[in-house]
Amino acid sequence: MNRRPNTLLIGKNGQVGHDLLPLLEKVSNVTAVDRSILDLARPDDIRQFVRSVHPEVIVNAAAYTAVDRAEAEPALAEAINAKAPEVLAEEAARVSSLLVHYSTDYVFDGTKPHPYSEEDSICPINVYGGTKAKGEDAIRRAGCRHLIFRTSWVFSNRGNNFLLTMLKLARQRDELRIVNDQVGAPTSSESIARATVDILEQILRMESPHGNLGTYHMTAGGETSWFGFATQIFRQASAELSSKVPHVDAIPTSEYATAARRPLNSRLSCEKLKSRFGIQMPLWQDCLSSVLASVSAAEKKGLVHSAR
């Protein structure tokens, strides 16, 4: 990157945003905001703020991600996941900024027997997935330069995610029942952040990057079920954190009632990402090792990580 662009990072305290911020600061001039500064449920505030910052790159790492709660709060989920990206895209198109946005495996219904490609038709089966699909569509319709990265099963050493929930439950319970027929790729926010900045640097060096813009899948290598992810968490945490290992029973989705339906197949093919940008995402097991190491380091320093 020959010149440091002005970058607006939205969602700086989320999992991906938190890991993005220090990497973006190395290559751009960053204005980073969270919900206390910019409420994505207020479209007029979004327009006014973007126009005050004059960003050349907008990275939207914020979203309504409470999948089950979204079933009871569809209007709020749509405001944040669909309307806010539409406004950001319109503002990006107005000044020829590049918009980077994150989406989800939940735009698919999970019935395909193989990993989904970017060309597969979307068919969300819950409110969250539906609002994220609307956000994607709005960005494309706005005609702005954009990168949409679909990812899955995001986890890190902070916030609300499956890894921290399992570590918390391991301290509280001797037995757990975990779904074994939903398959995907647990992906660390750190790996997403690194890949994003790598791609941004490539795009901003290109004289004519248009052919490399669009939608990409960005998930860790390999695949597993929630049961497989949990058992690997406990196996590695036992060594890394001296954590207790509970007994884990594998159960089908039909035995674990949730407000929102989940796709059984969340596998996404990342071949397009690799062929266009030369990026090979790390294996999910390596992502897990890296995050657990950071959890261990934080515990040794006396820092507390939330598993809300």
| Res 303: pLDDT | 55
Active site residues: 128
CA end-to-end distance (rounded Å), the chain: 38
Query: Residue written as tokens 């986890």?
Result: 155
264/293 Cα distance (integer angstroms)? 30
157/144 Cα distance (integer angstroms)? 33
| Beta-ladder partners of 211 | none
62/189 Cα distance (integer angstroms)? 13
Phi–psi pair at 257, nearest 5 degrees: -75, 130
Q: Is 246 helix (H, G, I), strand (E, B) or coil?
A: coil
| Two tokens, residue 279 | 């990026």
| Res 244: pLDDT | 85
Asked if residue 116 lies in contact with residue 223, where contact means CB atoms within 8 angstroms, the answer is no
Asked if residue 101 lies in contact with residue 138, where contact means CB atoms within 8 angstroms, the answer is no
Q: Which residue from 224, 225, 156 is spatially nearest to 192, judged by alpha carbons?
A: 156
Low-confidence ranges of the chain (pLDDT < 70): 1-2, 302-308
The residues spanned by each domain of the chain are 6-159+187-220+266-282
Q: Is 241 helix (H, G, I), strand (E, B) or coil?
A: coil
| Res 2: pLDDT | 57
| Res 306: pLDDT | 42
199/145 Cα distance (integer angstroms)? 14
Asked if residue 79 lies in contact with residue 131, where contact means CB atoms within 8 angstroms, the answer is no
In sequence order, what DSSP letters do the residues of 8-50 get, joined into one string? EEE-TTSHHHHHHHHHHHHHSEEEEE-TTT--TT-HHHHHHHH
What is the separation of C-alpha 81 from the centre of its chain, rounded to a whole number of angstroms? Answer: 13
Give the pLDDT confidence of 225-259 residue by residue, as tens digits: 999 999 999 999 998 888 889 999 999 999 999 99
Asked if residue 98 lies in contact with residue 152, where contact means CB atoms within 8 angstroms, the answer is no
pTM of the complete model: 0.95
Q: Domain 6-159+187-220+266-282 - what CATH class? A: alpha beta
152/219 Cα distance (integer angstroms)? 6
What is the separation of C-alpha 154 from the centre of its chain, rounded to a whole number of angstroms? Answer: 5
Cβ-proximal residues to 147 (8 Å cutoff; 6+ apart), any chain: 98, 99, 100, 101, 199, 203, 213, 214, 215, 216
| Beta-ladder partners of 8 | 31, 58
